[in-house]
Amino acid sequence: MEVAFGHPVSLKPIQTKYCPGCGHGVIHRLVAEVVDELGVQAKSIIMNPVGCSIWADLYFDFDSVQPAHGRTPAAATGVKRCLPDHLVVCYQGDGDLAAIGTAEIIHAANRGEKFTAIFVNNAIYGMTGGQMAPTTLVGQKATTAPYGRDPGVAGMGYPIRVCELLATLGGTRYLARGSVHNAVNVRKTKQYIKKAFEAQMRGLGFGMVEILSPCPTNWQMGPIEAEEWLERNMVPYYPLGEIKNTLEAAAGEAPAGAR
């Protein structure tokens, strides 16, 4: 009898350390499923960041490189340039990518580095215990924004829409925003990841999939309540879908062998 659906080969069959209702486990699975479908496990390298998902190397059955906080896209640049036929996945949270590593992601994207960033946006610092993130919504509470994020009097700035920010850069070819708060969006997100990974393997330039992801522990909610909160509050501010897709044009340029 043929097995139609099973545990991804690229994901180790162990229980994760992530909290109940956390999006990382689902996102890990989506990445692993796509890697399996593309048949590139032996040539996949995960760049695991600083944050909750620093544990990624425990779960993915890939080689991994662990850089300093926020430096992930710079290190991924070094990896991918030396191993251009590999699938290099830069797995980053919002603090890593949109705060301490802003320079690194903007310039890697602008150079058109041919790796994929999986940007997990849960609007909070998870591992350090619920501090305000660059993507924390206005009014949302955090340990360092105890009265809610206040761009006015307290000068806390505004939540950054990273896809839209990167879309202006010539090097970016594929930018999509998905979410894992319900089954429909989990399926859509997988399609975005697949498009981005396929584009990477064809050498078509920088791609990023931003994924809205619940953090019930630091949002101080139950898992179901967190999914509802994400849909009600995050989705309106962070529109879902393909924000930029110039893959066809990129494929047409086909600068094979050009530097």
Partner 1 sequence: MAEEKRLMKGNEAIAESAIRAGCRAYFGYPITPQNELTAYMAKYMLEKGRVFIQAESEVSAINMVYGAAATGARSMTSSSSPGISLKQEGISYACGADVPCVVVNVARSGPGLGGISPGQGDYFQSTRGGGHGDYYHIVLAPKSVQESADLTYEAFELADRWRMPVMILADGLIGQMMEGVVLPPPIDPDSLPPKPWAAGNRSGGREPNHVTSINLVPAELEAKNRERYARYDEIKKAVNRYEEVRTEDADLVFVAYGTSSRVALGALEMARAEGLKAGLFRPISLWPFPYARLAELAAKGKRFLAVEMSMGQMVEDVRLAVAEALSKGGEKARLSRVDFYGRCGGMIPSEAEVLAEAKRLLAAAPASVPANAAPKE
- Binding residues (CB under 8 A) for partner 1: these are 42-43, 45, 47-48, 54, 57, 60-68, 71, 74-83, 86, 103-104, 106-107, 111, 259
Min. distance of Cβ 107 from partner 1 in angstroms? 4
The values of phi and psi at residue 178, to 5°, are -115, -175
Both ends of the chain: CA-CA distance in Å?
49
Cβ 3 to partner 1, closest distance in Å? 21
Beta bridge partners of 245: 174
* Nearer residue to partner 1 within complex by CB, 45 or 208: 45
* C-alpha to C-alpha distance for 72 and 30, rounded to whole angstroms: 20
- Which residue lies nearer to partner 1 by CB, 76 or 160? 76
Cβ-based neighbours of 14, under 8 Å, separated by 6 or more: 58, 59
Nearer to partner 1, 78 or 223 (CB): 78
Closer Cβ to partner 1, 58 or 249, answer by number: 58
The minimum distance between CB 67 and partner 1, in angstroms, equals 6
Closest distance to partner 1 from the beta carbon of 103 (Å): 5
Minimum distance from residue 86 beta carbon to partner 1 (Å): 6
For residues 24 and 213, the answer to whether their CB atoms sit within 8 Å is: yes
Contacts of 97 (CB under 8 A, 6+ apart): 49, 70, 72, 73, 105, 117, 119, 162
Nearest CB to partner 1, comparing residues 47 and 234: 47
Question: What are the residue ranges of helices labelled H in the chain?
Answer: 24-38, 56-59, 72-82, 94-95, 102-111, 162-166, 183-201, 216-219, 223-229, 235-237, 247-253
Residue 55 or 237 having the CB closest to partner 1: 55
